């Protein structure tokens, strides 16, 4: 389900453009889709370009609802317009892994990453980052879909 995780140090911080998404779980696909369209349209109008894959920054672990930012790293930085706001992907020490499969199975991938972190004697934060490397745009074979999972590590030992 996931590749063997790695502990990485990510630096420096990178400029992003984000749209905040707060919705019940069942509304996420439509709500996120509208946010992505607005995000990409607004950065283009500002003369910025996406310089990385689409990501979701979960501000807390998903439950029956989501509170997250959908975004992309950008160059140059953007200014606020509509629901799009400038943000940043911070420098961080994180556990990183690659998940292959359907988006519906991401909760199990996150659980596997958290279990691996605990086995290392480490602790993650409540935040989590998903980078959508490939997905439905390449075809319906979900085994080819790739999502990078990043879980920032707290300074604490589990």
Mean pLDDT on 125-150: 94
Q: Convert the pLDDT of each residue in 15-47 to its tens digit.
A: 999 999 999 989 988 898 999 999 999 999 999
Report the distance separating Cα 122 and Cα 133, nearest Å: 26
Compute the distance between CA of residue 72 and CA of residue 14 in angstroms, rounded to an integer: 10
Region 6-157: CATH code: 3.20.80.10
pTM over 0.85? The answer is yes
Poorest-confidence range of 5-14, 25-34, 125-134? Answer: 25-34
Residue 89 main-chain phi, psi, to 5 deg: -95, 110
The chain-wide mean pLDDT, for the chain, equals 94
């Amino acid at each position: 389900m996931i590749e063997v995780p790695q502990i990485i140090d990510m630096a420096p911080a990178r400029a992003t453009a984000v749209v905040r998404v707060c919705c019940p779980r069942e509304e996420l696909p439509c709500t996120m889709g509208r946010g992505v369209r607005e995000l990409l349209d607004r950065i283009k109008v500002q003369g910025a370009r996406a310089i990385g894959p689409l990501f979701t920054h979960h501000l807390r672990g998903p439950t029956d609802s989501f509170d997250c930012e959908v975004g992309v790293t950008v160059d140059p930085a953007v200014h606020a317009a509509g629901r799009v706001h400038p943000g940043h992907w911070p420098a961080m020490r994180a556990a990183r892994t690659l998940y292959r499969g359907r988006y519906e199975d991401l909760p199990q991938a996150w659980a596997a990453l958290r279990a691996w972190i605990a086995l290392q004697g480490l602790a993650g934060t409540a935040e989590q980052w998903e980078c959508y490397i490939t997905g439905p745009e390449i075809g319906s074979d979900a085994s080819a879909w790739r999502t990078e999972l990043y879980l920032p590590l707290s300074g604490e030992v589990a």
